């Protein structure tokens, strides 16, 4: 079966961009996850479309990932095809006050290009550990800024296989969601409109936010960022802390002692550890405060 998959996929994408039984712990910021049956790295929209069509025809599951910054993959891995839109689709260019970038571009790289061109407005995203594609899907944000504040249009591969460009007001951006998240489309690229600013002021703001992250977030350990969505009227981290769960541990997974909104991999944590920890934290918070925490981290595979 594996060789058959490899042979057929190699007719759609270069062999050097296909890996079989690829450990997903190498492709998630949690540094957790068993092997993907097939792991492919397309370079352009046509390859993505062909791979998806191939998967659908053969009824093989597939999943799109960026740099795996919001993802928990099962210890058993993923029986299907992982389509990574990251290093092979990460082009960025600046023209005037507009930055155009492919979906695989890291937000930190976009912020770096903005700084190099004296463009302000993207500083909030400089420390978010994700790609532009994922950020558009979930309307990523931090420190008072969100992607919907700066994106003017998004190019999407629709579930029907069409490539369409949507204006920002068509994207239905909301808290950690968008039209693409609801429809199942795939972000290919986006245009970002910024404004001219003083490079020194831009750099200072980025450094200020970096220092805040270092001081408040457990960046010294692998994690998937904020583990739970913010419940309306509350802060997830505060609820978890007030429930007495700071430092709570299951196996090698721990509620961060620095910021209770993060679950961290203390070294050798399994997906089962993290999943059970999340379950217990959610149950305790609901029991204590009557508030249900919804995971922000996506789970992939069998748990």
- Give me the active site residues, please: 176, 226, 296
Burial pattern 20-41, b for ≥16 Cβ within 10 A else e, equals eebebbebbbbbbbbbbbbbbb
3-state helix, strand, coil in the chain (%, to 5): 35, 30, 40
In this structure, are strands 298-300 and 71-73 parallel, antiparallel, or unpaired? Answer: parallel
**To 10 degrees, the CA torsion angle through 56, 57, 58, 60?**
0
Q: What gap in Å lies between CA 174 and CA 186, rounded to an integer? A: 17
Distance, C-alpha 147 to centroid of its chain? 13
- Helix/strand/coil for 108: helix
Residue 16 CB partners (closer than 8 Å, separation 6+): none
- Cβ–Cβ contacts within 10 Å for residue 11, how many? 9
Give me the half-sphere count of Cα atoms (radius 13 Å) on the Cβ side of residue 189: 17
- Helix/strand/coil for 26: helix
Give me the half-sphere count of Cα atoms (radius 13 Å) on the Cβ side of residue 88: 17
């Amino acid at each position: 079966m594996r060789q058959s998959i490899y042979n057929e996929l190699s007719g759609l994408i270069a062999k050097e961009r296909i890996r079989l039984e690829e450990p997903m712990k190498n492709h998630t910021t949690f540094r957790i996850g068993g092997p993907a049956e097939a792991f492919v790295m397309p370079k352009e929209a046509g390859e993505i479309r062909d791979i998806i069509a191939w998967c659908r025809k053969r009824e093989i599951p597939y999943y799109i990932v960026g740099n795996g910054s919001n993802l928990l993959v099962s210890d058993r891995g993923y029986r299907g095809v992982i389509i990574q839109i990251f290093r092979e689709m990460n082009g960025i260019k600046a023209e005037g006050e507009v930055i155009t970038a492919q979906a695989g571009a890291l937000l930190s790289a976009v912020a770096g290009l903005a700084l190099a061109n004296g463009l302000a407005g993207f500083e909030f995203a400089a420390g978010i550990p994700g790609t532009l594609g994922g950020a558009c899907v979930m309307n990523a944000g931090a420190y008072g800024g969100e992607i919907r504040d700066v994106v003017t249009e998004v190019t999407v591969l629709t579930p029907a296989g069409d490539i369409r460009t949507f204006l920002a007001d068509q994207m239905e951006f909301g808290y950690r969601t968008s039209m693409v998240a609801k429809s199942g489309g795939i972000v290919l690229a986006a245009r970002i409109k910024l404004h001219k600013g003083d490079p020194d002021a831009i750099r200072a703001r980025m450094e200020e936010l970096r220092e805040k992250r270092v001081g408040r977030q457990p960046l010294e350990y692998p994690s998937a960022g904020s583990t739970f969505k913010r419940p309306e009227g509350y802060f997830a981290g505060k609820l978890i802390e007030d429930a007495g769960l700071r430092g709570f541990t299951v196996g090698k997974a721990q509620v961060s002692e620095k910021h209770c909104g993060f679950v961290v991999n203390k070294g050798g944590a399994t997906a089962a550890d993290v999943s059970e920890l999340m379950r217990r934290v959610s149950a305790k918070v609901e029991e204590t405060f009557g508030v249900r925490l919804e995971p922000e981290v996506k789970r992939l595979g069998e748990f």
